[in-house]
Amino acid sequence: MVGNVPVGGGAPVVVQSMTKTDTSNVEATLKQIASMVEAGCELARVAVPRDRDAVALRAIVERAAVPVIADIHFNHTLALKAIDAGAACIRLNPGNIGGPDKVAEVAARATEADVPMRIGVNSGSLPKHLHGLEGENPVEALATAALEFVELMESLDFENFKVSVKSTNVPDTIAANRLLATKIDYPIHLGITESGTKWSGSLKSAVGLGALLADGIGDTIRISLSTFNAEEEVRAAWEILKALELRQRGPVLIACPTCGRLQFDMDTVVGEIERRLERYDRPIEVAVLGCAVNGIGEAS
């Protein structure tokens, strides 16, 4: 469980996103979380790089409509403060959080508070001792970083965590997660890290996450897009889940690609219909076809 949201163990795949605001700006952060939730976000992650962010976190946690995850790098004391502030989950990066003694301190505090963690491995911040392996076999390096941290957590008698291995490279991400899934039984969080803009990033994420989800791998997902509008990440995540028929939320729009048989300005019409459908949560199918080849069949 992350807050009141079930993760793993056969629960539906959970959609999360991350705020783009300065976390210490409580009102701006809460406003963005509200937009994310409206789009279908179920877990909200916030960056906590400074003490003032940890201070602000308490108010954010108290007022947010969904559980809030604290994203921690470099400074393990911020993880301790985030737990004390009521964060529903702590994300730690094995590549920069520090030695086992620091991890042990966080694990002890998380155990006391019954707060889960995520072991979040990224291709851009692997532990230094794996840099050589990364050059030879990036897939093995990603999986090894995660498995080493899993072993550390287990040695600390802490097993309330999920794991992620993310790369900017789609094939590496797919292969690393497939390898990881054969080695652990913990929940797996999926994402293509730094995937790109709304257009390219959504496509890369759909390919990478779609392949894994179709294999039955993945318990939570986040689409990492270069945009200040976090709700775009949420919409992309739901479209992937809907395409695989893993979950349903809102209408499915069916539209033909058009050709010389087109009888009307379909591009404008489809765009307007798509905008209007955004306000509906019911999982209905809406078909817009440009001619009689498939139009009659889809309508029936």
Q: How many other CB atoms sit within 10 Å of the CB of residue 85?
A: 21
Residue 131 corresponds to which amino acid?
H
Return per-residue pLDDT of the chain as tens, 300 residues: 999 999 999 999 999 999 999 999 999 999 999 999 999 999 999 999 999 999 999 999 999 999 999 999 999 999 999 999 999 999 999 999 999 999 999 999 999 999 999 999 999 999 999 999 999 999 999 999 999 999 999 999 999 999 999 999 999 999 999 999 999 999 999 999 988 999 999 999 999 999 999 999 999 999 999 999 999 999 999 999 999 999 998 888 888 888 888 888 888 989 899 889 888 888 888 888 887 777 777 666
The pLDDT of residue 214 is 98
Q: Which tokens is 158 given?
A: 């802490």
**Residue whose token pair is 């994203």:** 71
Domains belonging to the chain, first-starting first, are 14-248 (3.20.20.20), 253-299 (3.30.413.10)
Q: pLDDT tens digit string along 246-265?
A: 999 888 888 888 888 888 88
The pLDDT of residue 101 is 96
Cα gap 50→47, rounded to integer Å: 9
Strand partners, 161: 117
Residue 78 corresponds to which amino acid?
L
Report helix angle 138-155 to 100-113, nearest 10: 60
Q: pLDDT tens digit string along 103-127?
A: 999 999 999 999 999 999 999 999 9
Cα gap 295→214, rounded to integer Å: 29
Whether 116 contacts 160, CB under 8 Å: yes
pTM of the model: 0.93
